[in-house]
Structure 1
């Protein structure tokens, strides 16, 4: 029986997951299909039941379902439980659905491909406190990054993340804007700049240090307003393509048992995404 996989989210038209996974299937000689499915918040439970009923082999989960999906899965792994978010679902041999989170590890792999491992003792500001931010925060901690600050429009959510993480501090977006030049690594985890998403950044980034390392998880467009500003002032930038490819590759490994060619995919998508 032919395997089929999917990505669910809202919006979904901008997703490059189908292109990426289909290319990997072709390269690896795997008879499988990958389809994008737009799922509204109020339709999530029905969508999960339908995917399960129709025999999906696995699926990716993107904005805005990474946290709310958990209640509709049969089980989740320990990392996803700690992060409180799922971005990858595997259909087990017994037919049950198990959730994982590959966002964080995918981000750290992409970050250190660009900057190496020598910055793990530097100050980090994570902008946003949603599902992706949680995944990234836990993965950074696991790799030895301990000087972590989280800012969010709703400060209580930033405090919740820091409390769950067990290290770091939570601040408001206003405070983040006022102290921005104090941070070496800036990680933008909101949907700001995403095609079909928000266009405005959470706060002014005019005081970003020229020596900063600026990373964005949005990959379409490649140069978000956040990264464009960082590039203009001469800061080091890390686009969202690397995280996107590596988190997808980890999902692919969960589904099919081996890690695909990420280097070629990063080069391909970087050329294709504007």
Structure 2
């Protein structure tokens, strides 16, 4: 690549912590190659602390970011404006630089989740358990609201309304909530044997288990569901959809 081309390169990237495993970098590299997009690159920005974020802004060729664990909420004070859905969710995973050089935050996680879940829903899928209360879980809750599905958060410490702790989780509660979504990192490579501590014996073929994890393809959480003949979905399609939505936001 000559210097002239280099000057006109648009840079995009993922902000997170310990993100070597990340899907985004390889996904966009493949996309750029397949679609012959020659003026864009995508890289990981592994930040030890969110306070390092302003240093990235010195590079004027950067046109957009994705954000992952643990910064989806912590990065909000650094943006100038939020898209209306991102404001309602309270977490962002996409930042666009506006024409005026301002930073605008979006959430494409909820879009990716909603679109990947919808084809699998049956009439009896009315209530859900969301395992975890981090930034990703907020987007999941927002999508469930849009789908008219009632949900309850499950966390280590139930401190808010609409939350229960893992200790309070009974087989009856599992039986009554036919959608269970894992928003925790438990089971991610390399710690593939880990999984949320729930009463798996109460899962039936009426259940739908969705894991935001995509590496491994079938987490221990999903494997337990498969053994009970439940519908199981990993996070890969959701990631593809949210990545494409991010790309359309950056380029519109």
Query: What TM-score, normalized by structure 2, do the two folds share?
Result: 0.89
Structure-2 residue corresponding to 1:86: 92
Render the CA deviation track for 1:125-145: whole Å, top value 9, x for unaligned. Answer: 111111111111011212322
Structure-2 residue corresponding to 1:206: 200
Aligned-partner Cα distance in 1 for 2:152–2:33: 42
Structure-2 residue corresponding to 1:60: 66
Structure-2 residue corresponding to 1:266: none
Change (3 A) 1:236 1:207: same
After TM superposition, the structure 1 = structure 2 runs for residues 103-122 of structure 1, keeping only pairs within 5 Å, are: 103-113=109-119, 115-116=120-121, 118-119=122-123, 122=126
After TM superposition, the structure 1 = structure 2 runs for residues 161-180 of structure 1, keeping only pairs within 5 Å, are: 169-178=162-171, 179-180=173-174
CA contact (8 A) 1:180 1:207 kept: no
Change (3 A) 1:12 1:94: same
After superposition, the CA RMSD in angstroms is 1.8
Aligned-partner Cα distance in 1 for 2:117–2:109: 12
Render the CA deviation track for 1:82-121: whole Å, top value 9, x for unaligned. Answer: 11111111111111111111111111111123x14x4485
Rg larger in 1 or in 2? 2
Aligned-partner Cα distance in 1 for 2:233–2:123: 14
Aligned-partner Cα distance in 1 for 2:124–2:251: 32
Cα displacement (A) at 1:26? 2.5
Structure-1 residue corresponding to 2:4: none
Structure-1 residue corresponding to 2:181: 187
The correspondence for 2:130, drawn from 118, 126, 148, is 126
**2:75 partner SS:** helix
- Which segments of 5 or more consecutive residues in structure 1 lack a partner in the other structure? 160-168, 258-274
The correspondence for 1:35, drawn from 22, 38, 43, is 43
The correspondence for 1:4, drawn from 1, 4, 11, is 11
CA contact (8 A) 2:157 2:164 kept: no
Matched positions, count: 241
Change (3 A) 1:66 1:198: farther
* Residue 213 of structure 2 corresponds to residue 218 of structure 1: yes
Higher helix share: 1
Cα displacement (A) at 1:196? 5.0
The correspondence for 2:232, drawn from 237, 245, 251, is 237
Change (3 A) 1:32 1:135: same
Change (3 A) 1:72 1:210: same
Change (3 A) 1:208 1:26: farther
* Residue 101 of structure 2 corresponds to residue 95 of structure 1: yes
Query: What TM-score, normalized by structure 1, do the two folds share?
Result: 0.82
Aligned-partner Cα distance in 2 for 1:185–1:250: 25
